[in-house]
Structure 1
């Protein structure tokens, strides 16, 4: 039962953009606010030529360790969030503190929510 409770607080974040540095910036903001899986110290890898690049991480959204500050990005990126409805909204609010966030789509299920965001510099 404890593992079910723990997984209920997890949000998967998938970033799609043009720059590993921007992905690293977004994940840096989230790592400062929330614990994440074992790859938390691993920076996003360089993109492969001619192939779409996606970066992902899973965060335990059980309380914010610190509030983020506005953080610049080199270019906009897309963030897909998937997890419990309350946790997805909480993580979205944290991102909105650091970046300009535009909602681009939502899908809601009984116990999960998917949210697509566009992140830009403030």
Structure 2
């Protein structure tokens, strides 16, 4: 199991990223669940848990309106599989990583593939 957190994204881009991951892997969110804007001036953080599997369904490149900041956190294999799925659909810029004994955290920036 790995947690995916999105920041700096529009509601539509967050739904796009989660849609790509939902196509590839089982998640803790129901299929009709989409990110919702919250009232106020605070930045939104959307998160979901995914259970990466060895047999994932790759997706075609998918456009985004802007850039999305993503944090992947979980076991090494799970985070690597989520990274692969995101890399298949988006242009990925990895800008940070932290490794522990049993899990790692990776910070990414996603944009549309050109």
| Coarse TM-score class (shorter-chain normalised) | over 0.9
Query: Which runs of 5 or more structure 1 residues have no equivalent in the other structure?
Result: 1-9
* CA RMSD in angstroms, aligned pairs only: 1.2
TM-score (norm. length: structure 2): 0.93
TM-score (norm. length: structure 1): 0.87
Q: What is the aligned counterpart of 2:100 among 100, 109, 118?
A: 109
8 Å contact kept, 1:37–1:59: yes
- Residue in 1 that maps onto 2:14: 23
Superposed displacement of residue 47, structure 1: 4.0
- Residue in 2 that maps onto 1:3: none
Aligned ranges for residues 57-96 of structure 1 at < 5 Å?
57-96=48-87
Write out per-residue CA displacement over residues 2-28 of structure 1, whole angstroms, 9 at most, x where no aligned residue.
xxxxxxxx0100000230000000000
> Which structure has greater helix proportion?
1
Query: Which runs of 5 or more structure 2 residues have no equivalent in the other structure?
Result: none
Superposed displacement of residue 58, structure 1: 0.2
The aligned length equals: 113
8 Å contact kept, 2:3–2:74: yes
CA distance in structure 2 between the partners assigned to 1:106 and 1:27 by the alignment = 21
8 Å contact kept, 1:13–1:82: yes
Please tell me whether residue 121 in structure 1 is matched to residue 97 in structure 2: no
CA distance in structure 2 between the partners assigned to 1:50 and 1:11 by the alignment = 28
